[in-house]
Amino acid sequence: MVVGDIGRSTEWRPALASVDTVIHLAARAHVLHDTDEASALYEETNALGTLCLAKTAAESGVRRFIYLSSVKVNGEETSNRAYTAADEPCPRDAYARSKWRAELHVREVGAATHMETVIVRPPLVYGPGVRANFLRLLGWVERGWPLPLGSIRNRRSLVSVWNLCDLLIGLVGNGRGDGATWLVSDGDDLSTPDLVRRIAAAMRKRVTLVPIPAPMLLAGAALLGRRAEAARLCGSLVVDISHTRDALGWTPPLTVDEGLARTAAWYLDTIAVGARGIHGK
């Protein structure tokens, strides 16, 4: 059922009739620039839209409400230790703040009703349809471009859409998740150079990583107005999923290499083929 734009006034009741569990994945993302207008758009869709859905779900007799948030609620980067679900939230931009407020709204509705509530905070999610930096990495590797990432020494958690969906499906019937916040990843944290090498292996491509110091990369990206994107390629963001593993008895069913192989196959069969068709190659 199509409900249209998501916001504070969305009519959810017809879609929620006889529904036992809601997994709320929809969100506004990738609004360029952290402006007042962007903040208002994020607030309307991600925070107030989620509040509207949660309230209507509880009124409609939904048993369990699972909300897909973001590790950006924890913060933008890690240094000497990984993020945990128990950490004090530190959202830095309008998107992250809207996701944090949505979490609070979900918790408030759960506390005031009998509806079970579950929060999941994923890091970068990849798979068919991936966008932003990850899609650009796929394109750079497929084209065989030399990449100035050889000197990057970071660690980043990521999760394939298949592993994320496996956890979400498990939480549908797992009563132990009620009232908790869960972190998720593939369980194998990679440096950006290692990620590039593994993508190249999945595509059966050769890749050249040029050793440019990270400060120089960041400075150059800043001149081009792309510092935030470069910071994600150079910085670390690691999540600790040991509590998710232990408390839920959950293990990522796919290795990161299996997830990357599936994603590379999608890219080569769709995006790369389409680009070659456009350019007559």
State the catalytic residues: 95
For 77-95, the DSSP string reads --SSS-B-TTSPP---SHH
Q: Where are the beta strands (DSSP E) in the chain?
A: 21-24, 64-68, 116-121, 124-126, 158-160, 181-183
Nearest 5°: the CA angle 193, 138, 272 is 155
**Residue 73 DSSP code:** G
Residue linked to tokens 């590797």: 141
Give ∠ CA 250-82-173 in degrees, rounded to 5. 25
Q: Is 117 helix (H, G, I), strand (E, B) or coil?
A: strand
Angle at 231 between CA 192 and CA 87, to 5 degrees: 90
- Per DSSP, the three-state class of 68 is strand
Give residue 166's Cα distance to chain centre: 15
Q: What is the Cα–Cα distance from 74 to 82, expressed in whole angstroms?
A: 10
Task: Name the 3-class secondary structure at 206.
Answer: coil
Alpha carbon 248 to its chain centroid, in Å, reads 20
